[in-house]
Chains A and B, each alone.
Chain A
Amino acid sequence: MTLDQVKPGQGGIIETIGGEGALRRRLLDMGLTPKTKVTVRKVAPMGDPIELYLRGYVLTLRAEDAAKITIREEAEA
């Protein structure tokens, strides 16, 4: 599944990072690399962007960009 479909409070392990150019590079640079554990913390009041927790810090990105990241869901929240 893709990261934008993950419900707040749930997370998983990143499998692939899509997108291209500046966006893709930025995602990688911020630590969204394959095999990284990531949790979706919440969704902004207007339904977008979303708030993530990974590598010990909090990151926000837009749902359309999160849709380019595929993850393997983990059982634990």
Chain B
Amino acid sequence: MTHYLLALAGNQNCGKTTLFNCLTGSNQHVGNFPGVTVEKKEGPLLKNHELSIVDLPGIYSLSPYTSEEVVTRDFILRENPDAVINIVDATNIERNLYLTLQLMELNIPMVIALNMMDEVRASGNSIDVKKLSDHLGIPIVPISASKKEGISELVHTVKKIATGPKKPPMKLDFCRGPVHRAIHAIAHIIEDHAQEAGYPVRFAATKLVEGDRPMQEALHIDPGDQHIIDHIVEDMERDLGTDREAALADMRYSYIEEICADCVIKHQETREQVRSEKMDKLLTHKYFGIPIFLGIMLLIFWLTFSVIGAPLQELLENGIGFLTGELAHLLAASGVSPWLQSLLIDGVCAGVGSVLSFLPLIVLLFFFLSLLEDSGYMARVAFVMDKLLRKIGLSGRSFVPMLIGFGCSVPAIMATRTLSSDRDRRMTILLTPFMSCSAKLPIYGMITAAFFPQNGGVVMFAMYVLGILVAILSGLLLKNTAFKGKPIPFVMELPAYRFPSARSVLLHMWEKAKDFLRKAFTIIFIASLVIWFLQSLDWKLNLVEDSANSILASIGSAIAPIFTPLGFGDWRASTALITGLTAKESVVSTLAILTGASSDAQLGGILQTMFTPLSAFSFLAFTILYMPCVAAFAASRRELGSWKAAAGTALYQTGAAYVVSLLIFQVGRLFL
């Protein structure tokens, strides 16, 4: 069976995801492009396994500056798809065609899916599709991805192009004057180099005119030729009175203006654009904009964590509890050996079960997040909050993931996928766990009840502030070290508000739920097993009655001295920190078990013998800052795309926790 590969390329916010969902349904495989954390979605075209379609990242150009753009051009050049579907937003056609002109140079059979044609027509504007197609020399199919109009015609055209005989190269006569001369002169010089390196000549020549460094390196041009090329470009720049990059951008846009003048009749803005402008009068209002945003987030948190999420979570917990109970009965009745019973019940069921009960929260949170994203509001959040995050080297786009971090780091880290820059994504994943998540509340409760009963609120507030402070300091530190290099400029489109499609929202939720379940049954499952082994066995692999004799306890004792300078060298504290990795609230239950406390009051009393108020404060600081739980670690591994990067992130977080607690304890000691 011949297999055909299709690529879907287009700008951000042009309905690309909606179209991809239309074309593949729920039959999607989500992964990353090799070597980068740029998401790659793949699926068969309408259940036809002969044709698979890859969703390329949403980009505006094929410049060499962002990993999304580089991935796109590498994919098209290296994987050599049988056809490219270029989705173009008809309501914003000038800027969308800019990418089209660059894709055309890659010399792959192409079809344009002219999306949102319904909106263009409804507002009394029109586009002469036939004429536009003739100008570009590419078949164009008008569609409406959200209303599923024109899809079958698009599929028909794509199939014909992908499976038909390869056409001669498209006409590429959109360059004029000095740029035209430069491109053709350079094309002549590098023809052999380009063919050898496997690049379309025209694309390579254009890139050399632009001064594209990766292309210069890939072609291995000898110094003599390079000298001539430089000369040609200098001549062009002198003739045009502008530099090379501006010359090419100007050439493309001039050509687009020319053909749009011929094919596009635009009397007025579309209804959606007019409506958006009105909505923004309120949503990005000078005084109301920020309160409205905070109000929306508060509403989402309230709905997720209490109104809808809490009952669902309780229901799931009860369900898991019931099943665990039944399984325990069954195991006991069938006379399975006690250690296996303990392994399955106390290890697997308890470990995976406690994490699994977070599923409703995560699904709900992503329901709301995709509403925000798909409606176009997320771009406004970035617009409104950008100034706050700029100083630490991030943009407004990172604000929402960080805010979600106060609820739970897992969805927060998963939410970084919508960030358009690889660098911002990595940095946000690193900083988000410093936002104190809700699982840490029981720890605050335990420590404040025992040591700061009068000032519980103040201590808790101090912890939240400490987390934010460490994130800010880390941002300042990292933007000049590990994340050096220019951030991607904050030049962002504010798309028209649109009603999110139920299908996209549901698919998004399903994808995130699947992702989380996979984690729960792999890494979290394994982590639960390991912790159970360490907690239930001694070094001779006998089951222990008292967990103080377990392997875990002896590891805790062994590493306890490391924490002596921080004020909590007690082995029970360090053991609790290890179990806290399965879920942060385990710190409390472990301390209760290891101290043999039977009530909160008793636990408080014992804690007072283990800690001084200062060392308790230092312990608390360490607990909120050190690496997040396994579920969050698994999420960051997935989003970062490598174990190494995830481990580095965890190491940094734990290191930061150590330094901060050390400072708190040692400096505090001087005064107390």
Contact = CB atoms under 8 A, between A and B. Distances in A.
A44 B383 contact: yes
Contacts of B289: 44-45
Contacts of B277: 41
B346 to A, nearest CB: 51
A43 B383 CA distance: 9
Contacts of A36: 253
A44 B384 contact: yes
A22 B486 contact: yes
B246 interface: yes
Interface string A17-59: 1000111111111110110100001111111110100011111
Contact of B91 (A25, A45, A56, A65): A56
Contacts of B61: 25-26, 29
A30 B60 contact: yes
A42 B266 contact: no
A27 B289 CA distance: 26
B386 A51 contact: no
Contacts of B489: 22-23, 26-27, 61, 65
A62 interface: yes
Nearest to A34: B250
A71 to B, nearest CB: 15
Interface stretch (B280-288, B324-332, B597-605, B639-647): B280-288
Contacts of B486: 21-23
A47 B387 contact: yes
B55 interface: no
A45 B384 contact: yes
Contacts of B384: 44-46
B92 interface: yes
Contact of B246 (A28, A41, A51, A59): A28
Contacts of B246: 17, 28, 33-34
Interface string B355-399: 000000000000000000000000100111011101000000000
A60 interface: yes
B342 interface: no
B491 A61 contact: yes
Which of under 10, 10 to 19, 20 to 34, or 35 or more describes the interface residues of B? Answer: 35 or more
Given A28-B245, A51-B494, A55-B95, A22 B66 contact: yes
B249 A29 contact: yes
B386 A45 contact: no
B492 A60 contact: yes
Interface residues of A, number: 34
A65 B249 CA distance: 18
Given A57-B95, A59-B491, A28 B249 contact: yes
Q: For chain A, what secondary structure do more than half of its interface residues adopt (helix, strand, loop), or is it mixed?
A: mixed
A46 B284 contact: no
A45 to B, nearest CB: 4
Contacts of B253: 31, 33, 36
A55 B266 CA distance: 11
A56 B494 CA distance: 12
A8 B590 CA distance: 59
B65 interface: yes
Given A48-B387, A61-B491, A25 B245 contact: yes
B95 A46 contact: no
B339 to A, nearest CB: 59
Nearest to B69: A29
B65 A45 contact: no
Nearest to B253: A33
Given A21-B65, A45-B284, A62 B490 contact: yes
A45 B287 contact: yes
Given A29-B98, A45-B289, A56-B92, A62 B390 contact: yes
Given A44-B386, A46-B388, A24 B245 contact: yes
Contacts of A27: 489, 491
B50 interface: no
A36 B245 CA distance: 16
B195 interface: no
B266 A29 contact: no
Contacts of A28: 245-246, 249-250
Given A17-B246, A60-B492, A61-B491, A31 B386 contact: no
B494 A60 contact: yes
Interface string B488-514: 111111111000000000000000000
Nearest to A28: B249
Contact of B493 (A23, A33, A58): A58
A43 B492 CA distance: 14
B418 interface: no
B65 A25 contact: yes
Interface in B542-592: none
B269 interface: yes
B242 A34 contact: yes
A56 B94 contact: yes
A26 B63 contact: yes
Given A29-B60, A58-B494, A61-B492, 14 more contacts: A17-B246, A22-B65, A22-B486, A26-B488, A41-B277, A45-B289, A49-B383, A49-B386, A55-B95, A58-B496, A59-B492, A60-B494, A62-B386, A62-B390
26 contacts: A21-B486, A22-B488, A23-B486, A23-B489, A25-B61, A26-B60, A27-B489, A29-B60, A29-B98, A29-B249, A30-B491, A31-B98, A41-B277, A43-B286, A44-B289, A46-B290, A46-B384, A49-B383, A49-B387, A56-B269, A57-B92, A57-B493, A58-B493, A60-B382, A61-B491, A62-B490
